[in-house]
Amino acid sequence: MSKLTSQIELKNLFDKSYQYLVIKAVRIVYKQDVAEDLVQECFIKLWEKRETIDAKISIEVYLNKMVRNRCLDYLKANKKRIVEL
């Protein structure tokens, strides 16, 4: 799959990938609820950016990188908050 063209394709991708991505995110952020939220945010962003995603890149690979980067951004933001406290 190189492009998302319908909500059905997005739902199929969600059904296929969601649990795996949450497990991956939990390994990074160590919180189930936060991991679920981050993965859902990535699916929303993926749908919003579906027209601009390079067709040469696999959607699954792109989504994996999105989740990893979003988790790392979350950790950086929370590290800064903890230091401020």
d(CA 66, CA 38): 10
Cα dihedral 69, 71, 73, 76, rounded to 10, equals -130
C-alpha to C-alpha distance for 4 and 15, rounded to whole angstroms: 14
DSSP codes of every residue in 9-59 = HHHHHHHHHHHHHHHHHHHHH--HHHHHHHHHHHHHHHHHTTTTS-TTS-H
Q: Global pTM?
A: 0.85
8-22 residue pLDDT tens: 888 999 999 999 999
Write down the pLDDT at residue 3.
64
How would residue 84 be classed by pLDDT, with cut points 50, 70 and 90?
Answer: low
pLDDT tens per residue, range 42-52: 999 999 988 88
Q: Please check whether residue 2 is in contact with residue 13, taking contact to mean a CB–CB distance below 8 angstroms.
A: no
